[in-house]
Amino acid sequence: MRVLGLDFGDRTVGVAISDPECRIATPLETIRREDPEALKQTIQRIRTLVTANGIDTIVLGLPRNMNGTEGPRAEKTRAFQKRLLRDVYRVTVELWDERLTTVAAERPLKELGKDRFERKEIVDSMAAALILQGYLDSLRLKKQEESKMATEERQIILYEPEEQLKTTMNVFASQEIDEEEYFLAAVAYEDEEEEFDDEDEEEDGVFIFKVCTAEESEFIVLNEDGTTDYYVTTELGDHYDTVIETFQNMSDEFDLIADDDEE
């Protein structure tokens, strides 16, 4: 799916488009109008581009002042956004800060020796490409951050009511099967060598827990202040084989441990 970028001006709308992978923005065209208020043909052209290119998101540059405030141009842009949302169906129209994009678009054209008329013909679409590229870069950065957060280990405090023991555990992965949540965890050791010195081999294993109700629970996961966060059990129920296989495929370097009754 591609994304369309727009630089809305008094008599022009610069247009840029992304590649299918939404990584690179490319100048597409400049839509012109004689009357600043006559937007019907402009909207029709944008609708045609949306349909022809399978667009589901439009990124519209929002002109802010350098101090972050908004003036008359920003108000007109927001009004244009509402018009697009009304008249171009099944698309999301997102606003993106466009400060300095026109200046940035003109700079390489000047360096190429293009005169003012030549720059005017393509600067709007280049400005749209800069707006769109900023948006695409932010999406990529957001995905990288989300991926990083997903792969980073998190720690939980596990409390066993019967023995009244608290254990800090590292959670490596989680999965959901038929609306039931399962996660893979192992004891967290302050000293890395401590893990290999423990005489009880089971303590060095990786465990699978299922999030459950208080009535089904064997353990309680605590918040930092000692209050109950949620309940878990090692009884995996009907999904025992599926859960084991999925987690084993995720990390085959560990020996997965579950209740003996389930084996």
Q: From the DSSP assignment, how many helices (H) and strands (E) are in the chain?
A: 6, 12
Q: Label residue 32 by pLDDT band (50, 70, 90).
A: very high
How much is the pTM?
0.55
* The residue type at 98: E
CA angle 179, 215, 229 (to 5 degrees): 70
Tokens 């466009």 belong to residue: 98
Q: Is the separation of the CB atoms in 97 and 121 below 8 Å?
A: no
Residue 253 pLDDT more than 80? no
Q: Is the separation of the CB atoms in 22 and 136 below 8 Å?
A: yes
Once rounded to an integer, what is the mean pLDDT over residues 79-96? 95
Q: Is the separation of the CB atoms in 166 and 157 below 8 Å?
A: yes
Once rounded to an integer, what is the mean pLDDT over residues 50-77? 91
Q: Label residue 124 by pLDDT band (50, 70, 90).
A: confident
Residue 116 pLDDT more than 70? no
Q: Is the separation of the CB atoms in 103 and 117 below 8 Å?
A: no
Tokens 């992978």 belong to residue: 21
Whole-angstrom distance, CA of residue 178 vs CA of residue 140: 31
Max Cα separation, the chain?
A: 83
Q: Is the separation of the CB atoms in 231 and 212 below 8 Å?
A: yes
Whole-angstrom distance, CA of residue 128 vs CA of residue 61: 7
Which residue from 116, 136, 128 is spatially nearest to 9, judged by alpha carbons?
128
User: Where do the domains of the chain lie, and which CATH numbers do they carry?
Assistant: 2-148 (3.30.420.140), 154-262 (no CATH)
What are the angstrom distances between the C-alpha of 154 and each of 33, 174, 241, 256? 56, 11, 25, 19
Residue 244 pLDDT more than 90? no
Q: Label residue 219 by pLDDT band (50, 70, 90).
A: very high
Q: Which residues, including other chains, have CB under 8 Å from residue 178's CB and lie 6 or more apart?
A: 239
SS3 label, residue 217: coil
Once rounded to an integer, what is the mean pLDDT over residues 120-124? 72
Structure confidence at residue 153 (pLDDT): 65
Direct distance between the N- and C-terminal alpha carbons of the chain, in angstroms, rounded to an integer: 46
CA angle 60, 65, 67 (to 5 degrees): 125
